A and B are shown apart, each in its own frame.
Chain A
Amino acid sequence: MLDIPLILFFEGLTNGAIYALMALGIVVLYSVTGVINVAQGEFVMLAALSVASLRAGQVPGIVYLVVAGLVLWAVYDVIGKLRHGQPLRALWAGLAPLVAAAAAYLIVVLAARASLPYVAVIVIAILLTTALGPICYRVIIQPLPRASVLVFLIMTIGLHLALTGFGLAFWGPQPYTIPPFQQGGVRFGSVFLDGQDLWLFGVSAVLLAALWYFFSRTLWGKALRAAAVNRLGARLSGISVVRAGSVAFTLSVFLSAVAGVLITPITKMVYDFGFMLGLKGFVGAIIGGLANPAIAVLGALFVGVAEQFSAFYVSSAYKDVLVFLLIIPVLLMRSLKHLDFEEHVE
């Protein structure tokens, strides 16, 4: 009566859609900036737990990160302008992030007190988390314009440690859940999909379509792709590499934040759950060679489905092992592809 493979397939797609959002964020960020963001999953956690805090009428700790980051941003900008001997511009450069910090703080404090509708809470949490994107770019990545991919990778390991630690400090070790967007569900033959699953598929699909449109049809998207292909060339044709990097970071963090509010009603969220989600997004991204968004999305969906099937048919304890084994043949293929002697990147 129960069609087990079909059920596993849909459950796999549910997780796979989340991994796809992560994979997409990873690919966008990497191709534009050369940053492999190990902390991609931490933003999932931050967004989800912020929703939980706001709903409980508490100020989520993330706002302190945003404020501190913006203050640091102001300091960096002021120092930069002063070094160029532009004291007046320094004043303005410093003022903007500080105003933004004050505004963010006020809005969040008021939002925590007022009992806002659920939609508003979700929007605020996503915006708050997304704000960390440009902040991370400005404070961590931008000061090192010429660092190697590996240096960036290690720096984002640092970011992962710090954000996980902050997650623990703000929310403690206990799991949180947030309500689904909608009660009830739909039955397709032998498969029952509840409302949150549908939201998850729908929102992911809309985001993927929107991103495709952005990158292939809009000037900004094309500029980002140009910056990805050739940074010097992009700069020469008037595209600011810094702005492109900042936009890419914002976009990728936004995708994580959305993934966070979509998945948490289904699985619960703990301060250190994000990391695993991010890593599985990586498996998808690597299947796409860290460059091809479409294959990355398919790869991530495949990871989700493969995970469910191996959990059911092989062993739930070993499902992560099997998922991570998936990328070894992919990497092996990459390593066999380059016959030329390649320079080792430090």
Chain B
Amino acid sequence: MSARPGGDENGAVDAGSTRHVARPLGARPLGARPLGGRLGRWLRGGLLVAFLAVLVALPLVAGPFELRLANLVGMYALVVRFGVNPWLSIVAGVLLSLVLAWIIGLVTLRLKGHYLALATLAWGLVITGVLRNWMSVTGGNTGYGSATGNRIPPLSVFGEELRGDRLTFVLVWGCVLVALWMLSNLLGSRVGRAIKSLRTGAIAAASFGVDVQRTKMVTFLIAAALASLAGGLHTYRELFIVPGLAGLNASIDYLIMAVIGGLSSIWGAVAGAGIFVLLKEQLQQVLPRLVGRTGNYEIIAFGFILILVLQYARRGLVPMLDSLLPRLPPRPVKHDAAPLGTRAVDRRTGPLLVLRGVTRSFGGLTAVNDLSFSVERGSVVGLIGPNGAGKTTAFNLITGVLGVDSGTVVFDGVDIGSRPPHRIAALGLARTFQHLNLNPGMSLIENVALGAYARTRSGLLGGLLGLDHAEEESVRAEAVKHLRRVGLTEDPHARADSLPLGKVRLLEVARALMADPVLLLLDEPAAGLRRHEKEDLKALVRRLKADGVTVLLVEHDMDVVMDLVDTVVVMNYGNKLAEGTPAQVRHDPLVIEAYLGREVA
């Protein structure tokens, strides 16, 4: 793997570098017979590097795109330089990366997707620049290690040196397997569901109690830790450090791996890394012969691959082959698992949700103006109005997706007007979305399980180590219960995108119910439903009301609204036009004029 002299990377060696760097004395197999032949060569060279890369690329699966990961790979370099004990210096490198990632994360993780990517580029260039120029510590472009006359002490166990094949096969592969195991645990856990849902809909995640910023940070820190570990292992395999390991081009390599494999599963990262490394090796042999001059022409091919994969297989190659691959049978649901704790049944009366003088404008447009109404406990309230009346804005103000300009929103005695969505959700408020906001690639059961986020407690460590089995079984059993409750009889392990529209709306309701809500907000649940589906929906809302759930319903379909609700609030141009029982509202001349005239008169 020659250096790719793109950008400022002249003379740099990327993470895939095996030949370029002088390997000290080669591998001296102690005791074990060396693995020969082509397989041995691959395991030692290509595949090994692929797996090192997997360590770095893996967290890409989980989080938003990160180009700066590779920079953190390089941070170990500073520690190696000062570290006395190699093991300690790997650990210290990981810790240093975590601190650095935390600081960088504080600054940039709030940014939107493409700004995040650009910030990443900037950080990348800054950190690489520092590493490259801090000669006394990193050795600059030439690097630091035996080839430059400095000695990096090898890893050792009980006085025996760990290098060559032993290091490769035992330590590196061990780490990779452990990382794979832990990450696959994580992605199936409570925190993992939150991480996965960030990519398809952060608002949905937040609406069920996920602290989006915190979850992004966790993802980023996991990535940083693994990247730094990979960097440490690479250093002690080569006994050499080059800043290029942390360079922009190395980052782009990881990006290519992630795009090729696809980001929807861990196997995408594994396959992407493997394909990338093997392909790169082949291209580096073939292309210079074609051009007739040495050079890293493989970047042309990878450039085209990046474009073509995004054009024709946006989700990567692994999901494309998904249908061909043998599928593990889904984990059966234990219906006798201990039930999740529920809220105490509330027999109080009086208003549950009170809006007073709520106003919100966007620039010069006042979307909601001085809106006041209340929702009694145990009632079903409809919020109606013509298009653009401000219903959805009102909804977003209640759920915290938008903040109020003035006025108060009080839920169960707590002022929630300026709280973020995840803290409102924790109080017992759950919602569905008008524009469906589910993760199409996850199973029904997983989508519904996200709803229980605020009710459950398993943390990151439990998720990584698979210690959350008891709670997970309860969550899965309850998820199936709610699927049945809303009338979804489909296979709970089917993917969400296999459902027709009407059923997906029910899936949204099931996810909201999973939160064990005190107040359920339904945003146009009948949109796009057929007549008999609407009847089912009405029956469902009546059952929920009987179960003591308070419901606030935004709906266009008069038939649905008027049949279900106890009171109706009518909005027009951001203002409240009328409030009362369906019968009162039906005969309100203002309402008839503004909206209902055509339908009811």
Interface residues of A (CB under 8 A from B): 36, 140, 143-144, 147-151, 153-155, 157-166, 168-169, 172-173, 272, 275-276, 279, 282-283, 286, 315, 317-318, 320-321, 324-325, 327-328, 331-332, 334-336, 339-346
| CB neighbors of A among B1-55 (8 A) | 5-8
Which 4 residue pairs spanning A and B have beta carbons closest together? A162-B303, A158-B306, A165-B300, A161-B303
Task: Please determine whether A151 and B295 come into contact, CB atoms closer than 8 angstroms.
Answer: no
- Smallest CB gap from B124: residue in A: A324
Q: CB within 8 Å of A: which residues of B?
A: 5-8, 64-65, 107-108, 110-115, 117-119, 121-123, 125-126, 129-130, 132-133, 198-203, 206, 212, 252, 255, 259, 291, 293, 295-307, 310-311, 314, 400-403, 420-421
CB-CB under 8 A from B133, the residues of chain A are 315, 317-318, 321
Residues on B with beta carbons closer than 8 Å to the beta carbon of A317: 129, 132-133
Say yes or no: A331-B111 contact (C-beta < 8 A), given A163-B303, A279-B125.
yes
Contacts of A155 in B (CB 8 A): 306-307, 310-311
- A161 CB contacts on chain B under 8 angstroms: 6, 252, 299-300, 302-303, 306
- Complex formed: what's the CA distance from A346 to B199 in Å? 6
Are A165 and B303 interface neighbours, CB within 8 A?
Answer: yes
* Nearest CB of B to A63, in Å: 17
A36, B201: Cα distance in complex, Å: 23
- Residues of A within 8 Å of B255, CB to CB, are 154, 157
Residues of B within 8 A of A169 (CB): 291, 293, 295, 297, 300
Assembled-state Cα–Cα distance A315/B135 (Å): 13
The residues of B that contact A346 with a CB separation of less than 8 Å are 64, 113, 199-200
Shortest Cβ distance from A166 into B: residue: B300
Q: How far is the CA of A91 from the CA of B33 in the complex (A)?
A: 66
Q: Do B118 and A282 touch (CB < 8 A)?
A: yes
How many Å lie between the Cα of A157 and that of B307 in the bound state? 9
- The CA-CA distance from A169 to B129 in the complex, in Å, is 27
Taken together as a complex, chains A and B put the C-alpha atoms of A192 and B264 apart, in Å, by: 59
Instruction: Please give the distance in Å from A94's CB to the nearest CB on chain B.
Output: 20
Q: Which of A36, A144, A340 contacts B311 (CB 8 A)?
A: A144
Residues on the A chain within 8 Å of B130, using CB: 318, 321
Q: How far is the CA of A153 from the CA of B310 in the complex (A)?
A: 11
B492 to chain A, nearest CB (A): 26
Residue in A closest to B263 when the chains form the complex, CB atoms: A346
Chain B residues closer than 8 Å to A332, beta-carbon distance? 107
In angstroms, how far is the closest chain A Cβ from the Cβ of B203? 6
Q: Contacts A143-B311, A321-B125, A325-B126 known; A150 to B65 CB distance under 8 Å?
A: yes
Judge whether B8 and A276 touch: CB under 8 Å: yes
Tell me the smallest distance from the CB of A248 to a CB of chain B, in Å.
17
Q: In the bound complex, how far is the Cα of B305 from the Cα of A155, in angstroms? A: 10
CB atoms of A331 and B119 under 8 A apart? yes
Max chain B CB contacts within 10 Å: which of A157, A168, A344?
A: A344
Name the contact of B122 in the complex, choosing from A166, A173, A327 (C-beta under 8 A).
A327
Distance A64 CA – B328 CA, assembled complex (angstroms): 49
Q: Distance in Å from the Cβ of A56 to the closest Cβ of chain B?
A: 17
Contact B121 A279 (CB under 8 A): yes
CA distance in complex: A168, B288 (Å)? 11
Chain A residues near B403 (CB-CB < 8 A) = 339-340
A153–B114 contact, CB under 8 A? yes
Task: Return the contact of A341 from the options B119, B125, B291, B421 (Cβ within 8 A).
Answer: B421
Given contacts A286-B118, A324-B122, A324-B129, contact A165 B111 (CB under 8 A): no
